[in-house]
Structure 1
Amino acid sequence: DMEMKFSLPFTMDENKMWVKIPNIPMLAGQIPDELIGKTVELDLKKLVEDSGQEMPSVKDLKAMQNLSNDMFKAFLGKFDEKTYFSTVEKKDAGLPENVDAKQIVKFNVTNENLEQFFTTFVKDALPAMADVLGKEEYSKLFKLEKDQVEKMKQEMKTDDSELKKGIEEMKKSLKINELSVTTAINKDQYPAYQVVVANLDTTGDDGVKSKIAARVTTELSKINEKVEFKPVPSDVLTMEQLQQMFGGY
């Protein structure tokens, strides 16, 4: 058995991102001890310029944020509410007290609804997400033409018999103990807090059994507010300094 747990706090505005380096016991010896707890400052503008691209405008950054939100809604919107969704009270959700949660919804996939889930995912959810990407305000971000989006949707189509065969094979090799996404939606309709839980038993073609257990928590706060982040100067490293420190490892 192997367990790994760490948090990755970060703050960003339209020009910079600050990421705090976590302590990951599994990577002991690979990350210099003097780096743990330090904050890496990423100059987004410089990174973009070095790649030969243009720096996204504030409008583009806002559009990308909206795209993520609309993709999330398009995906979930194709699944039957009674089959997959349940409302969770804040006191039962285990959220931190500071989380702005107007509504908490749990999306749950079980062994019983697995076949329906994948059928809906392939036939309905993926095309719906492609439709979102095809909206003018989003296709401009990725320089996508309408025919490219349509081609994408055509490539998503799957023969019913092949889909069913794939699902049957998956059902034989996969047992779901828990597969869920719990999302706290704030007053502005943004997902402010999300917990993804996967607890699965799998059986390989050779009969070898294995277990997958993962829990990923994402928390967003002060969305679209002015960023006022002032780390201690001695704790901040630039990308250049970080690269120099790793040069000896």
Structure 2
Amino acid sequence: MTRILILGATGRTGAAILAHLPAGIEATAALRDQADTARLAKTAASLTSTVVNVDERTSLTQTMHGFDVAVNAIRLRDDIAPTELVAVHDRLIEASTKANGAPSRIVTVGGAGALRLPDGRRFWQDPGFSEPTLPRGRAHAVLRDHLEAGDAGSEWAYLIPPPVYRPEGPTTECWERVAPSADETAFTRRAISYADFGAAVTEVITDEDEGTHLISWPVEVFE
């Protein structure tokens, strides 16, 4: 039985992931506070919860024991440092290696700020990018570069949503994966629902896929 740890399980993406996990998966929601258990979405998977401090190495190492996959769906604060997501990822690798003798596979919910534009720019540098989320967008670009450069091994998947989310949108099962490229401008005109993105993350978890994946509905939402 696959055992997965979900960080950020009470968020919208975390809830969508839980809702789409199939029976036969043993999932544990990593919470900041045990009271957050009441906020967890229903799931067909076998679900338990635990309290963990992702900034504290001992707590994280104890939590990572026995897990095959760690899903990072945490939405960190808006003013994060450029390297903070890299630091979280590296702590997950360190903790899982100490706990299990080898690194767990890390599946990260990415950010549209990491999308590549012409001339080496990233989407977080686009004038239309939301100013309050600029630090998080930049941090996601730094994390993507860190992963794709091979600095975090090969046991990872980084899943990038489009800039436009439909919060209450349905599960259409019509989403698609777009291959990474040097110019991903077209993807900035895509959209997806939380439900479909959660379903896509679940597929990557169960299929044991690796690498960077751009995930959206197949049509552009504006020109």
- TM value normalised by structure 2: 0.25
Q: TM-score normalised to the size of structure 1?
A: 0.23
